[in-house]
A and B are shown apart, each in its own frame.
Chain A
Amino acid sequence: MKECINCGNLYDDSLDHCPECLCSEHETNDDGEDCGGIFEPVSVWIKDKGRPEIICRCRFCGALKTELIEDDDNPVTIMSVATKPLANPPFPIERIGELTDLMGGQGDMDGYYKS
């Protein structure tokens, strides 16, 4: 058993990240030097053949890596990571309607967001 350096949860040695917070420790960087930062999950992507992976980023040095999602990973944490960008869109949400007009009206919100 090892202890998660982010949330203190105990998990099995064979897992490469904590099943609760999906964090892990960044032990050595590309140059072979010790980093010791926390790899936190920033995004989720679907690799080919439908295998979901989390994209982790080191808080300390900014290194990126991908890790396969295990069966016993917390689904609520995964959904929270995956939906974080949607809660913080880079363009005004009111203009989503204009975008769907470009698609020929598919996904129309029936004027819900039109003022």
Chain B
Amino acid sequence: MNRENKRRKYDKNFYKKNPCTDSFTCRNCGWPIVSNGAGSDHRNHCPNCLCSLHVDETPGDRASSCGGIMEPIGVWVRSDGEWAIVHRCKRCGKLSSNRIAADDNPMKLMAIAMKPVVCDFLDRDRLKEMLSSMQSQGDLI
């Protein structure tokens, strides 16, 4: 075992300080993933299906014993205007937020963002009533 592998195995904070350059396949969709092209040294999720794995408790410590697949459930806009994906572990329900990467699938991102808008869970009549009370600003016609 050379020195690099030894550090990787025994230094708990190795991935906090060093980029991970391993190639792997996505456990959810089988997409082959390389570390290049993410626009950051730390690739967090599959660029095709945006799923992640629950391996960290705090970023880079590889301390979680869960290992479940974390599915993307929502996107939100950070204060600097950048999107971040909210992941939820399918196994234990832990939530985490992560920046989007440069090569993420834009259709999948838009699909996640549009999902609450197209799901008809709000009462249309009540929404219309409230909008009309806003002096018809934002009228749905």
Binding site for B on A (CB under 8 A): 42-46, 50, 52, 55, 57, 62, 64-66, 69, 74-76, 78-79, 82-86, 88-91, 96, 99, 102-103
B83 and A85 within 8 A (CB): yes
Q: Which B positions have Cβ atoms within 8 angstroms of A?
A: 73-77, 81-83, 86, 88, 95-97, 100, 106-107, 109-110, 113-117, 119, 121-123, 126-127, 130-131, 134, 138
Nearest A residue to B77 by beta-carbon distance? A88
Tell me if B116 and A44 are in contact (CB < 8 A).
yes
Q: Which residues of B contact A88 (CB under 8 A)?
A: 77, 81, 83
- How many whole Å from A46's CB to the nearest CB in chain B? 5
Cβ-defined contact, A84 with B77, below 8 A: yes
Tell me whether B127 and A85 are in contact (CB under 8 A).
no
Question: How far is B81's CA from A84's CA once the two chains are assembled, in angstroms?
Answer: 10
CA separation between A44 and B82, bound complex, in Å?
Answer: 17
A102 touches B122 (CB 8 A): no
A18–B113 CA distance with the chains assembled, in angstroms: 24
A43 touches B76 (CB 8 A): yes
Interface SS of chain A: helix, strand, loop or mixed?
Answer: mixed
Q: Determine if B96 and A103 form an interchain contact, defined as CB atoms under 8 angstroms apart.
A: no
Q: List 16 A-B contacts (CB under 8 A).
A: A42-B74, A42-B76, A43-B73, A43-B76, A50-B121, A55-B76, A57-B76, A62-B97, A64-B95, A75-B122, A75-B130, A76-B127, A84-B76, A85-B77, A86-B113, A86-B114
Query: How far, in whole Å, are A90 and B109 apart by their CA atoms in the complex?
Result: 9
Question: Do A52 and B119 have beta carbons less than 8 Å apart?
Answer: yes
Q: Name 4 extra pairs, CB < 8 A, besides A64-B96, A76-B127.
A: A44-B74, A46-B115, A84-B76, A99-B106
